[in-house]
Amino acid sequence: MKKFLLCGIDVGSKELVVAIDPGRGKVWEGVFPNTAAGHGTLVRRLTRTRNLARVRVEATGIYLLDLALALERADGIAVMVANPRATRDFARAQLRRSKTDRTDAASLLAFVRRMDFAAWTPPRSAILALRALSRRIQALLVTRAQEKNRLHADPVTEATPAAIRESIERHVEAIDTEIDTLTAAALEHVRRDALLRTRFDHLLSIKGIAEANAVTIVAELSVLPADMSARQWVAHAGIDPRHHESGTSAQAPGRVSKVGNRRLRAASFLPAMVAAQYELRIRAYYQQLLARGKKPMQALVAVMRKLLHAIYGMFLHEADLDGSKFSAGEA
């Protein structure tokens, strides 16, 4: 009977908490940086022996994909990216009362020991390429904004030489050229892939989503596991509500968590704002929330959440926006 090295990994923003069963009855626990170098060290740790490694991680957060890709590409390692609900139900069945990074890793290890193993299929190269193009464009947009801010501030500083202003202007012009070039490449990439093109075209049916937003939204959503729910998409974007209560005296107003994919969150903000003004059904939904006492920003975030739910259905059913799905039943 083939022996496997079994591993559970709790994925955090900065660290990977790992529990490994090499098959000799003693579990090894360790922590690795959640960086490219840390991924390489972990791969070497998992491939020390001749036994094939089976690794289980959860499909949560924004810090998983690069790790899963590094593990999946390594010889001798199979990765299972499982639904967090399955892990939670399994932990409850184990009567686990504590929740820490170490116990989560141990629970994932126990899961891979006892449950059927289904290897993860990574996103297609076309999807990963679009994500890389989109993220490069976003990085350039941030740099351009920084340079324009410097350009705005420089005139008030008499000591700033004219050569610096000219340098900034040349840099902004060069960045604009790069953004235009990469945007054209991203749009061409979308047109060459049937799935990406279909999703892109459906997104454009929403008033407020232009080509630039559509590229980012398609790129960030298409890499997510197929079994994620619409609610998990919302949590992934970091626009799920976060409630804070302490006894009966300190009950702070609810806020969005902002723990998630900031690119997806940013790409959803302007479309939601425009749709709340010009998309008939969405505007009615927004106005209903205001009439119920929601503040404008609270109502706008609710529109963002509802839009993500709508996009989930659009991708699932390959359809344009159905505005009738918007109602004030959920905020």
Q: Over the stretch 21-63, which tens digit does the pLDDT of each residue have?
A: 887 778 899 999 999 999 999 999 999 888 899 998 876 656 7
pLDDT tens for each residue of 105-145: 888 888 788 878 888 888 999 999 999 999 999 999 999 99
Q: Class of the 4-114 domain?
A: alpha beta
pTM of the model: 0.76
Domain locations in the chain as residue ranges: 4-114, 125-192, 220-244+254-325
pLDDT value at 68 more than 60: yes
Q: pLDDT per residue over 34-45, tens digit each?
A: 999 999 999 999
Q: Would you say 144 and 179 are in contact if contact means Cβ atoms under 8 Å apart?
A: yes
